[in-house]
Amino acid sequence: MTNLWWLALAVLALPIWWHRQKRERVTALPLATARFLPRTDPQQQRVWSWVDRILLLVRCLLLACAVAWLADPVVPWRGDSVLVAPGTDAKWAQQQVAAAGYQDAARIDVAGDPLQWLRAHEGEWLPEARLLVLGAVPMYAAQPQFRHRVELRTKTPAPARSEHRVAIVSKRAAEWRALFAATSGPQRYLVAETTEGKPELVVWDLPQAPPASLRAPLWWVGDASAFPELKAAKQVDGLRYTDSSRGRLWASGAWPPKDANAARALFETWQRLHYSPVAYTASAQVLAANPAAPVAPGSGALRGILAMALTALFALERILAHARRR
């Protein structure tokens, strides 16, 4: 769609037409013998000539630059490149670069998905450029298509370590603590018997209702009588759940879990439903060049330069126009 903006270059005819026309005013002077001539109405004569050529050039450049900014042109200038996904091990990346023969290629550290970034910026690469993508590249349902040959060398990163605050309010706090103590992995659970510190999970195992001001993203309810909202809650596999003003409520009469398998199932359900899923890493492969692959309309790489040029040309045009009127 941005290519249609180039049709707006037709507006360059406006300053050209404006500068070419000049109305020449004829000064009327009294002439003694004019009374012997036939009476005629005064006429104005239009003379076409170039006026203020420098100002005309600046105005044409200003309009052309504005059209180019709207069209967002892409100029191929990149050569062989290595795109590195975030979190990629530096030593492993150097080994892969050497093994693939990309020692002289430019390295680009991408903030997000490298293939999505490449899709938006592919027009910046020369037709003969080679591309190597390293790191945790998400797996797509359909194979991505690019106009360049793209080699993927992937590696699944280790799970990131994280901390989760858990508040336990129960007369069976020891049993609930044993549940969290039995877990292993990169997630660390900070268990406390107070609700201070904005916990992510509140285990409420008392018949009394919690304070109205207490909020948490998720509640595990051991005694459903404390939450009237659970009376009409949906039930799946013995687990009742509903949303309330305090947060999402989970309840089960079989809590706390009695064995390791039940605890593991509960934690897997929590991780799957409460946190965003982890994308699968694509396998190492080579994506062949497809000349028919779509190209993104523009990446905005030149818009900063064009914006500065627009500012400079506008200031110059105002200076020249002011000097002309003096």
- Give the pLDDT score at 1: 44
Tell me what pLDDT residue 235 has.
86
pLDDT band at 86 (very low <50, low <70, confident <90, very high): very high
The predicted structure's pLDDT at residue 326? 62
* Mean per-residue pLDDT over the chain, rounded: 85
| Per-residue model confidence as pLDDT tens digits over 167-223 | 999 998 888 888 777 677 777 888 898 888 889 999 999 999 999 889 999 999 988
Q: Above 80 in pLDDT, residue 51?
A: no
Q: How, if at all, do strands 239-243 and 248-251 pair?
A: antiparallel
Q: How far, in Å, CA of 303 to CA of 3, rounded? A: 15
- Helix or strand or coil: residue 125? strand
162-274: CATH number: 3.40.50
Helix spans in the chain (H): 13-20, 53-71, 90-100, 114-121, 173-181, 260-274, 303-325
pLDDT at 113: 94
User: Lowest mean pLDDT: which of 95-109, 128-142, 147-161?
Assistant: 147-161
- Residue located via tokens 């818009």: 303
Q: Distance between CA atoms of 115 and 133, rounded to whole angstroms?
A: 8
Q: Hey, where are the domains in the chain?
A: 2-25+47-73+302-325, 81-156+281-287, 162-274
Of residues 231, 247, 276, 102, the one with CA closest to residue 167:
247
pLDDT confidence of residue 11: 83
Helix axis angle for 303-325 and 53-71, nearest 10°, is 160
pLDDT at residue 236 above 60? yes
Cα–Cα distance for residue pair 248/201, rounded to 1 Å: 10
pLDDT of 52 higher than 80? no
Encode pLDDT of 67-82 as tens digits: 888 888 888 899 999 9
Q: How many angstroms separate the Cα of 44 from the Cα of each of 14, 22, 50, 72, 148? A: 23, 11, 19, 45, 64
Across 211-220, 259-268, 274-283, which has the greatest mean pLDDT? Answer: 211-220
Average pLDDT over residues 262-290: 82
Return the bridge partners of 162, or none: 187
Strand ranges of the sheet holding 239-243, from the earlier edge strand across to the other edge: 187-192, 162-170, 201-205, 218-221, 248-251, 239-243, 234-236
Which of 86-90, 99-103, 236-240 is least confident? 236-240
- Give the up-direction half-sphere exposure of residue 136: CA atoms within 13 A in the CB hemisphere: 13
The arithmetic mean of pLDDT across residues 310-325, rounded, is 87
- Find residue 146's DSSP bridge partners: 289
pLDDT at res. 44: 58
Task: Examine the pLDDT at 46 and tell me if it is beyond 60.
Answer: no
- Residue 289: per-residue pLDDT: 95
Residue 102: predicted pLDDT:
96
Distances in Å between the Cα of 306 and the Cα atoms of 56, 59, 62, 111, 134 are 19, 15, 10, 25, 33
Distance from chain centroid for Cα 284: 25
Q: How sure is the predictor about 2, in pLDDT bands with cuts at 50, 70 and 90?
A: low
Under 8 Å between Cβ of 129 and 81:
yes
If one compares 117 and 33, the residue with the highest pLDDT of the two is 117
pTM: 0.62
Report yes or no: 65 and 315 within 8 Å, Cβ to Cβ. no
Cβ atoms of residues 170 and 176 within 8 Å = yes
Q: Rounded to the nearest 5°, which phi and psi values hold at 137?
A: -95, 120
CA distances from 126 to 131, 142, 147, 169, 326 (A): 11, 25, 10, 63, 50
